[in-house]
Amino acid sequence: MDSLTKENTMKRITLALFAAAAALAATSARADTRVSFGINVGAPVYRHEPPAVVYAPAPSVVYAPAPTVVAPAPRGYWKEIQVKTWVPERWVVRTNRWGRSERYCEPGYYAYRTERVWVDTRHDHGREYGYGYDNRGGWNR
């Protein structure tokens, strides 16, 4: 290769490099048109400091325990008792094995069930007295 061809090639590469740099500069100049230089002219300008922002700590949360509820002690107990109930006789209709209806008498009987009842052990058995002797050895006033 002769020197003219090398020189033309180098010129073309240099020209392409400058064109690419100019294109990049043009696109970045379009993105932001402000240009600033770090040169100050004149006396320094003093500005007031911005007010200090003081943050208060978050309020503390104190959980109080639940109030204690004192219920009077029950004065009695539960007792299970058997209750006997008479079921009177009745006529019942049923179908026999040949498909015919038959009436027959079901005799009366006792049915048993269990019930829970509260047995009160207080002396006054739930009675309240508005005035007078309270049946426990004292007077109401």
The pLDDT tens digits of the residues spanning 82-120 come to: 999 999 999 999 999 999 999 999 999 999 999 999 888
**Alpha-helical segments (H) within the chain:** 3-31
Number of domains in the chain: 1
Within a domain: 26: no
More confident residue, 10 or 81: 81
Contact 92, 103 (CB under 8 A): yes
Q: Are residues 141 and 118 in contact, defined by beta-carbon separation less than 8 angstroms?
A: no
Query: Considering the domain boundaries, does residue 19 fall inside one?
Result: no
Q: What are the φ/ψ torsions at residue 84 (nearest 5 degrees)?
A: -105, 125
Report yes or no on 127 lying in a domain: yes
pTM equals 0.31
Give CA–CA dist 69/75, Å, rounded: 18
Instruction: Using DSSP, state whether 126 is helix, strand or coil.
Output: coil
Question: Is residue 56 scored above 90 in pLDDT?
Answer: no
The predicted-structure confidence for 12-46, as pLDDT tens digits, reads as follows 888 887 877 777 666 555 555 666 666 666 666 66
User: Is 131 part of a structural domain of the chain?
Assistant: yes
Is 37 among the domain residues? no
Give the whole-angstrom CA distance, residue 24 versus residue 30. 10
Bridge partners (DSSP) of residue 102 are 94
Determine, yes or no, domain membership for 22: no
Q: Which residue segment(s) compose the domain that 106 sits in?
A: 76-140
Q: What CA dihedral angle connects 94, 100, 101 and 104, to 10 degrees? A: -70
Is 73 strand, coil or helix?
A: coil
- Encoded amino acid at 24, one letter: L
The answer to whether residue 99 is domain-embedded is yes
